[in-house]
Amino acid sequence: MQASSDGAASQSENLMPYYLFQWKYKDSSIQAMIEAPQDRSAELRKAVEAFHGRMHQFFFSFGEYDGLSIVEFTNNAACASCAAFLIGAGANTSLQTTTLLTANEGEAAMLRASSVQSGYRPPVGYSALAKT
C-alpha cells in the first residue's frame, strides 16, 4: 500500500480497522473455567462476528490482563457496540479497547505529521516568552 501525503491509504488495501481487546476476568469466571475448561476463543469469535467483525487472534495472558485479542470491525461504532455487549455480559471486571494502526497506516501518519504546518507551540518555553 502506498500512503499519500494526506495520510490516506490507496485503494490497493481495503482493510477494516484493527483493535486490541484486553480484559480481566472476574474471580467467579476464572473459577467456572477451572471447573469446566472451555474454548473461550470460540465464544469471543461469536460475539465479534455478531457485530460484523473478525477475530484474528486470541490469547490468555499473565500480568495485568487475563486475555487479549486482535479483532477487526467495520468502524469504531461496531467495535464499541461489541465491547459494550461483552462488558454487559458480566464475565469481566474490565475490558480495554485500543485502536491499532498497521505499519503502513503508522508510516502514513508520520508522513502527514511531518508535512503539516500548524503554528502549534508546546508548553515548554512559554514562561520564558512571557517574561520578554
Question: Domain range holding 106?
Answer: 18-116
Whether 6 contacts 71, CB under 8 Å: no
Any domain includes 7 = no
Quick one: pLDDT band at residue 14, thresholds 50, 70, 90? low
C-alpha grid cell for residue 45? 469469535
Mean pLDDT of 59-65: 97
Q: What CATH code is carried by the domain that includes residue 63?
A: 3.30.70.920
Q: What pLDDT does residue 21 have?
A: 98
Q: Can you state the angle between helices 76-89 and 40-50, rounded to 10 degrees?
A: 130
Any domain includes 96 = yes
- pLDDT for 68-96, tens place per residue? 999 999 999 999 999 999 999 999 999 99
Any domain includes 129 = no
Q: What pLDDT does residue 78 have?
A: 98
Any domain includes 29 = yes
Long-range contacts from 81-84, C-beta under 8 angstroms, 24+ separation: 81/51, 82/47, 82/48, 82/50, 82/51, 82/53, 83/21
> What is the number of domains present in the chain?
1
Any domain includes 4 = no
C-alpha grid cell for residue 42? 470460540
Any domain includes 124 = no
Q: What pLDDT does residue 121 have?
A: 83
Quick one: pLDDT band at residue 125, thresholds 50, 70, 90? low
- pLDDT for 44-61, tens place per residue? 999 999 999 999 999 999
Q: Given strand 54-60, what is the order of strands in its sheet?
A: 54-60, 67-72, 18-25, 92-100
Any domain includes 40 = yes
Quick one: pLDDT band at residue 12, thresholds 50, 70, 90? very low
Any domain includes 95 = yes
